[in-house]
């Protein structure tokens, strides 16, 4: 065979700026493989030092335009852990509703806008409108629902404003919640159609058993709270994260690479969540998963798309449950500032997100440590590609390139986040 | 119908939130595709046309030598260049790091700084001529639509210059500074959001950047009067637009 060189200078249909370089020798060995993240760093961990505890969520929100909610809630919870604040049940519920709404928005964006064009043979969702207008309209409608819920609870879809340390500045009105509830009920059909779409469409057949990680809670499908667990036996509290997960710099990437201490790379995201927390999914989403014919736990990264669709049903079910039980009463936010260290792990749409802060007696940040999902995944994406590309060598160069890009997009990387 | 204007969307040092707002125009997204030819948008499209564009929406600040070269190339190929959001206007939140020595910031994040090529983050206007700005972190969707409509009608977009206070008055909000002694940035901040934060029980943090001709020093002395420390005041102005000429004194230049 001939030598193969793949160079994608600017990966399309992912957030942020990354490239892919692969070279394969004549005897079919991967000589070099780099998922090259060249997004300019913004040095959040540096400029957060000297800022005040009550603006940390507002600042870290700006790490990412797609998952600002995840950064806000993680920052708030880490600060609350440092200050010893226990939020009310209503606050926990509203935060979960807000987090889930952001999952709906982001996962629909990933499925319909960023990856579906590959699977259906188009260059973009814009090109899809000609022959598949109904599918495009469904994607737009579902995404809008997610955004409108974030807007209702958080005051704005991108960089919301009401979620603060201790609770919310204001709670949404009952009438508006009722109207959203109605739309959620109606959206269930579209969510089922999404599961059907991603179980009927042909996903590349590639499996690699790697360590899958997510937060987990026996009582609920964990998004904002839980122990950090893995398929290889990791089970730690969020405050112990740094005892187990380490980062190292690679010369070709502005995103640091993560690994489990004394082990290797690992995967976070919708597929690890569904694999590890299947029992906590709503009964309708479990049934839909079973009907899809795909077995979980599953170690094909492309099945992440289906996992997003299954989560979509769960997200709708749990949003309705929360709306039905949340009292929506005004609450006081009383707490005192003190020095301390706090860490938090939540599930951003793309997977586990870690924030930790050290603050002094005046509430000034002394140290910040942030690890977004794509910084967790970057190392694992390369390990997947190492094996996956060797299964493609019979294809044309264009097809090999597209398939490798599709694997990266299955992780739905958020590159601005990963660099931050 | 006349030829559709060609639009390009670019991302520099930022969070993609501004281009997300464009994508979040779900109700009119399909109409926009009828009216405009979006032929460069890497976050959405795999086939991108790099020839020339009628309108370029540029998101993000400039923070590396490579980005300076790129924005100059984009300017050459663009008829109407829009600084899309606060990062492109003046660096926004990432510009807070401009007050930390660059090597110190790099050492706090990277063990090996030899591969990092970052500089101070500045707005695109430091390097190229801009034809319009869309304020906000992120800009309001209605403002984005207003600009696009004006582009079609070849009229001047109606972009607001007055402070958030005017929008608070429209919404009958009690003033948070006078009634609750909160450190509201509304009096010096450009309107356009609809006074989101003050309407939801939170002070304006200034995410639309300075209004036209604000009196920043007067607001700083009001903040001092209601009990904010000098560091608190500096932090308030050194946030979304610390690099702007309007806020730079209070931001501690």
Domain residue spans of chain A: 44-378
8 Å CB contact of B64 and A40: yes
Mean pLDDT on A146-156: 98
Q: Rounding to the nearest 10 degrees, give the CA dihedral for residues B108, B110, B113, B114.
A: 180
Q: Which of A13, A63, A256 sits opposite B44 (nearest CB)?
A: A13
Nearest to A159 among B47, B110, B138 (CB): B138
* CA distances for B227 relative to A165, A361, B7, angstroms: 21, 18, 48
Q: What is the per-residue pLDDT across A129-141, written as a single tens digit (0 to 9) for each?
A: 999 999 999 999 9
φ and ψ at A20, to 5 degrees? -135, 130
- What is the dihedral angle through the alpha carbons of A148, A110, A314, A179, rounded to the nearest 10 degrees? 10
Q: Which residue in A has a C-alpha nearest to residue B94's C-alpha? A: A42
Q: What is the mean pLDDT of residues A298-314?
A: 98
- Closest CA relative to residue A377, chosen from A408, A346, A416: A408
CA dihedral A169, A173, A178, A180 (to 10 degrees): -50
| Rounded-to-integer distance, Cα A249 and Cα A240, Å | 22
- What does each C-alpha distance from B3 to A126, A260, B75 come to in angstroms? 18, 55, 22
Query: CA angle at residue B82 from A156 to B53, to 5 degrees?
Result: 120
What ipTM is given for this predicted complex?
0.97
- The partner residue sitting opposite A15, judged by closest CB among B43, B197, B207, is B43
DSSP character at residue B207? T
What's the token pair of residue B97?
A: 């790091």
Query: Residue B171 has which token pair?
Result: 């919404």
What percent of chain A stands above pLDDT 70? 100
Domain B6-153, CATH? 3.40.50.700
Strand partners, A15: A414
Q: Please give the average per-residue pLDDT across A59-80, as a whole number.
A: 98
Nearest-CB residue to A16 (from B16, B63, B108): B16
Tell me the shortest Cα–Cα distance from B94 to chain A, in angstroms: 6
How far from chain centre, in Å, is Cα A354? 12
HSE toward the beta carbon, residue A308, CA cutoff 13 A: 33
User: What is the distance in angstroms between the Cα of A87 and the nearest Cα belonging to chain B?
Assistant: 19
Query: What's the whole-number mean pLDDT along residues A162-168?
Result: 98
Q: What is the pLDDT of residues A3-52, one digit of tens each?
A: 999 999 999 999 999 999 999 999 999 999 999 999 999 999 999 999 99
Domain boundaries, chain B: 6-153, 164-251
The CATH code of the domain at A44-378 is 1.10.645.10
Rg of chain B in Å (alpha carbons) = 19
**pLDDT tens column, A93-138:** 999 999 999 999 999 999 999 999 999 999 999 999 999 999 999 9
**Contact check, Cβ <8 Å, A62/B93:** yes
Average pLDDT, chain A: 97
Instruction: Give the 3-state secondary structure of chain A.
Output: CCCEEEEECCCCCCECCEEEEEEECCCCCEEEEEEEECCCCCCHHHHCCCCEHHHHHHHHHCCCCCCHHHHHHHHHHHHHHHHCCCCCHHHHHHHHHHHHHHHHHHHHHHHHHHHHHHHHCCCEHHHHCCCCHHHHHHHHHHHHHHHHHHHHHHCCCCCCCCEECCEECCCCCHHHHHHHHHHHHHHHHHHHHHHHHHHHCCCCCCCCCCEEEEEEECCECCCCCCEEEECCCCEECHHHHHHHEEEECCCCCCCCEEEECCCCCEEECHHHHHHHCHHHCCHHHHHHHHHCCCCCCCCCHHHHHHHHHHHHHHHHHHHHHHHHHCCCCCCCCCCCCCCEEEEEEEEECCEEEEEEEEECCCCEEEEEEEECHHHHHHHHHHHHHHHHHHHCCCCCHHHHHHHHHHHHHHCCCEHHHHHC
Cα–Cα distance measured from residue A38 to residue A372, given in angstroms and rounded to the nearest whole number: 16
Q: Would the CB atoms of A13 and B16 count as touching at under 8 Å?
A: no
Residues of A in contact with B197 (CB under 8 A): 155, 161
Q: What is the residue-level pLDDT of chain B in tens, covering all 253 positions?
A: 568 999 999 999 999 999 999 999 999 999 999 999 999 999 999 999 999 999 999 999 999 999 999 999 999 999 999 999 999 999 999 999 999 999 999 999 999 999 999 999 999 999 999 999 999 999 999 999 999 999 999 999 988 889 999 999 999 999 999 999 999 999 999 999 999 999 999 999 999 999 999 999 999 999 999 999 999 999 999 999 999 999 999 999 8
Task: Identify from A11, A17, A36, A46 which residue to disrupt to test chain B contact, counting B C-beta atoms within 10 A and taking the largest count.
Answer: A46
Which pTM was predicted?
Answer: 0.98
> In chain B, which residues have their Cβ closer than 8 Å to the Cβ of A113?
23, 44
Q: Is B227 on the interface with A (CB under 8 A)?
A: no
Q: Nearest CA of chain B to the CA of A215: how many Å?
A: 25
CA distances from B2 to A100, B36, B52, B179, B231 (A): 43, 11, 18, 54, 55
Measured in angstroms, the CA of A109 and the nearest CA of chain B are apart by 9
The mean per-residue pLDDT over the stretch A74-78 comes to: 98
Would the pLDDT of A344 be above 60?
A: yes
The pLDDT assigned to A165 comes to 98
Residue of B nearest to A402 (CA): B46
- Cβ distance A301 to A265 under 8 Å? no
Is B16's CB within 8 Å of A117's CB? no
Nearest chain A CA: its distance from B111 CA (Å): 7
């Amino acid at each position: 065979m001939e030598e193969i060189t793949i160079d994608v200078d600017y990966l399309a249909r992912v957030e942020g700026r990354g490239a892919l370089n692969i070279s394969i020798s004549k005897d079919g060995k991967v000589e070099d493989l780099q998922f090259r993240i060249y997004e300019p760093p913004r040095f959040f961990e540096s400029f957060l030092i000297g800022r005040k505890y009550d603006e940390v969520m507002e600042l870290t929100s700006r790490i990412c335009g797609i998952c600002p909610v995840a950064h806000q809630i993680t920052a708030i919870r880490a600060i609350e852990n440092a200050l010893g604040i226990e939020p009310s049940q209503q606050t926990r519920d509203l935060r979960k509703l807000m987090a889930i709404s952001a999952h709906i928005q982001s996962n629909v964006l990933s499925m319909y806008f960023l990856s579906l064009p590959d699977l259906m043979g188009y260059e973009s969702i814009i090109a899809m409108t000609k022959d598949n207008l109904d599918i495009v309209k469904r994607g737009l409608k579902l995404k809008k629902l997610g955004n409108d819920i974030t807007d209702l609870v958080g005051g704005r879809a991108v960089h919301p404003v009401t979620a603060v340390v201790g609770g919310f500045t204001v709670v949404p009105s009952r009438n508006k919640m009722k109207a959203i509830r109605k739309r959620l009920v109606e959206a269930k059909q579209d969510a089922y159609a999404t599961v059907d779409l991603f179980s009927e469409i042909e996903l590349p057949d590639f499996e690699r058993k790697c360590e899958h990680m997510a937060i987990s809670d026996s009582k609920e499908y964990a998004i904002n709270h839980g122990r950090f667990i893995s398929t290889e036996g990791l089970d730690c509290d969020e405050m112990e994260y740094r005892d187990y997960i380490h980062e190292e710099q690679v010369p070709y990437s502005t995103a640091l690479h993560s690994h489990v201490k004394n082990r290797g790379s690992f995967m976070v995201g919708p597929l690890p969540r569904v694999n590890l927390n299947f029992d906590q999914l709503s009964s309708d989403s479990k049934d839909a998963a079973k009907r899809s014919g795909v077995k979980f736990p599953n170690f094909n990264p492309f099945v992440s798309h289906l996992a997003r669709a299954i989560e979509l049903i769960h997200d709708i079910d749990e949003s309705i449950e929360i709306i039905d039980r949340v009292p929506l009463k005004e609450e006081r936010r009383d707490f005192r500032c003190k020095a301390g260290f706090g860490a938090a792990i939540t599930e951003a749409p793309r997977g586990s997100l870690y924030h930790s802060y050290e603050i002094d007696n005046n509430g000034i940040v002394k140290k910040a440590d942030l690890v977004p999902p794509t910084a967790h995944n970057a190392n694992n994406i390369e390990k997947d590609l190492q094996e996956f590309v060797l299964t493609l060598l019979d294809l044309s160069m264009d097809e090999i390139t597209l398939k490798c890009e599709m694997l990266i997009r299955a992780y739905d990387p958020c590159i601005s986040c990963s660099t931050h | 119908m006349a030829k559709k204007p060609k639009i390009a969307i670019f991302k520099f040092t930022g969070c993609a939130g501004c281009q997300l707002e464009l994508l979040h125009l779900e109700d009119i997204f399909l109409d926009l595709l009828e009216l405009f030819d979006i032929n460069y948008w890497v976050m959405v499209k795999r086939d991108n046309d790099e020839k020339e564009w009628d309108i370029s929406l540029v998101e993000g600040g400039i923070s590396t030598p490579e980005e300076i070269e790129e924005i100059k190339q984009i300017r050459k190929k663009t008829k109407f260049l829009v600084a899309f959001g606060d990062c492109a206007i003046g660096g926004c939140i990432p510009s807070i790091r401009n007050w930390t020595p660059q090597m110190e910031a790099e050492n706090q994040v990277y063990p090996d700084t030899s591969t990092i090529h970052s500089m101070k983050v500045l707005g695109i206007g430091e390097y190229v001529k801009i034809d319009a700005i869309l304020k906000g972190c992120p800009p309001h969707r209605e403002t984005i639509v207003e600009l696009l409509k004006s582009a079609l009608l070849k009229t001047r977009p109606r972009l607001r210059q007055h402070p958030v206070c005017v929008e608070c008055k429209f919404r009958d909000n009690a003033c948070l500074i006078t009634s609750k002694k909160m450190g509201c940035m509304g009096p010096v901040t450009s309107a356009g959001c609809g006074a989101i934060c003050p309407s939801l029980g939170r002070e304006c943090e200034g995410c639309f950047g300075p209004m036209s001709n604000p009196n920043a020093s007067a607001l700083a002395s009001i903040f001092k009067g209601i009990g904010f420390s000098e560091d608190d005041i500096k932090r308030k102005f050194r946030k979304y637009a610390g690099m702007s000429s309007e806020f730079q004194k209070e931001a501690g230049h």
